[in-house]
């Protein structure tokens, strides 16, 4: 497969802070990559660096894509606040020699056409920005949390459009996200933490590597005194993580060997909630945010 982008010894700084430090990374065309990380991890900085919008202190970040085949939506994108939405749409059509009437209708841009861009709400701006990113049928998409500000109706419209792109093997997508459904539909996950590359691999490989394929969720009464037992379970070879969403709630992650000891525990104690299920993208995003996790 051809390379979509190349990163070598990339260093991005601001004042005395290091925002990104990524020695080497190659992304391939035809992949749908979910870029994940906690708030402030460097996701937007990475996308801006790839697009040449951030000056690097060292190294390179190169995108192998013709500009007219690129669709971009960034959080800090803006236009002259006095420009009308209709003029934004016309400008896009002039630049690319095409428009997308179906997408225009999906995002209900007709109702915004007479409005000044600077007077739009956050969600309305997002509808315009996504139209500009998608209307020329790009083969490469760079999206920075595209669902931000969209209400349920428009987010569902966006997901329908995104699904069409993801079904096309010729399309490449790099999308910063905090949303489980967007991660679940990706082919790969790129995880950065504190400006450094934490991991990059196929989605299912990533989930199995860091969480295992299996989870046990239980809620219990405080008088059961389970803390010591949970600590013992965390030492089992097949257990990867323990998450404590609330004081008397626990989720254990691991491989299939976790099933039997958890069934034995459930038989011994009376839990108000108990379930054994597969791990999913939502669990991985909880891990990325370090929300209540005890690392094993």
Strand-pair category, 214-219 with 249-254: antiparallel
pLDDT at 296 over 70: no
pLDDT of residue 60: 93
pLDDT band at 234 (very low <50, low <70, confident <90, very high): confident
Instruction: Please state which CATH number belongs to domain 3-207.
Output: 3.40.50.300
pLDDT band at 61 (very low <50, low <70, confident <90, very high): very high
Mean pLDDT, residues 102-115:
97
117-162 pLDDT tens trace = 999 999 999 999 999 999 999 999 999 999 999 999 999 999 999 9
Mean pLDDT, residues 93-110:
95
Mean pLDDT, residues 277-286:
94
pLDDT of residue 292: 63
pLDDT above 70 coverage of the chain, percent: 98
Q: Does the domain at residues 211-295 carry the CATH identifier 3.40.50.720? A: no
pLDDT band at 232 (very low <50, low <70, confident <90, very high): confident
Q: Do domains 3-207 and 211-295 have the same CATH topology?
A: no
pLDDT at 236 over 60: yes
pLDDT at 295 over 60: no
pLDDT of residue 222: 75
pLDDT of residue 8: 96
pLDDT band at 68 (very low <50, low <70, confident <90, very high): very high
180-220 pLDDT tens trace = 999 999 999 999 999 999 999 999 999 999 999 999 999 98
pTM: 0.92
pLDDT at 287 over 70: yes
70-86 pLDDT tens trace = 999 998 877 899 999 99
pLDDT of residue 16: 85
pLDDT of residue 227: 78
Domain residue extents for the chain: 3-207, 211-295
242-268 pLDDT tens trace = 898 888 888 999 998 888 988 988 888
């Amino acid at each position: 497969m051809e390379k979509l982008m190349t990163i070598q010894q990339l260093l991005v700084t601001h004042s005395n802070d290091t925002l990104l430090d990524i020695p080497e990374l190659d992304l391939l065309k035809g992949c749908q990559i979910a870029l994940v990380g906690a708030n402030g991890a460097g996701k937007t900085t990475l996308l801006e660096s790839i697009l040449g919008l951030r000056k690097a202190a060292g190294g390179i970040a190169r995108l192998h894509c013709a500009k007219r085949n690129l669709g971009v939506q960034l959080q800090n994108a803006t236009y002259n606040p006095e420009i009308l939405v209709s003029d934004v749409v016309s400008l896009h059509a002039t630049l690319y020699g095409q428009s997308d009437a179906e997408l225009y209708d999906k995002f209900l841009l007709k109702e915004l056409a007479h409005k000044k861009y600077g007077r739009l709400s956050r969600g309305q701006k997002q509808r315009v920005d996504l139209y500009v990113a998608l209307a020329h049928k790009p083969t490469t998409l760079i999206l920075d949390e595209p669902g931000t500000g969209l209400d349920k109706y428009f987010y569902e419209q966006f997901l329908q459009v995104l699904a069409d792109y993801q079904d096309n093997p010729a399309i490449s997508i790099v999308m910063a996200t905090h949303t489980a459904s967007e991660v679940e539909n990706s082919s790969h996950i790129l995880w950065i933490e504190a400006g450094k590359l934490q991991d990059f691999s196929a989605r299912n490989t990533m989930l199995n590597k860091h969480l295992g394929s299996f989870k046990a969720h239980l809620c219990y009464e405080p008088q059961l005194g389970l803390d010591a037992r949970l600590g013992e379970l965390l030492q089992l070879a097949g257990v990867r993580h323990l998450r404590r969403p609330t004081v008397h709630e626990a989720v254990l992650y691991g491989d299939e060997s976790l099933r039997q000891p958890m069934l034995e525990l459930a038989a011994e104690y009376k839990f108000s909630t108990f379930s054994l299920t597969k791990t999913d993208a939502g669990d991985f995003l909880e891990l990325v945010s370090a929300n209540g996790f005890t690392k094993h």
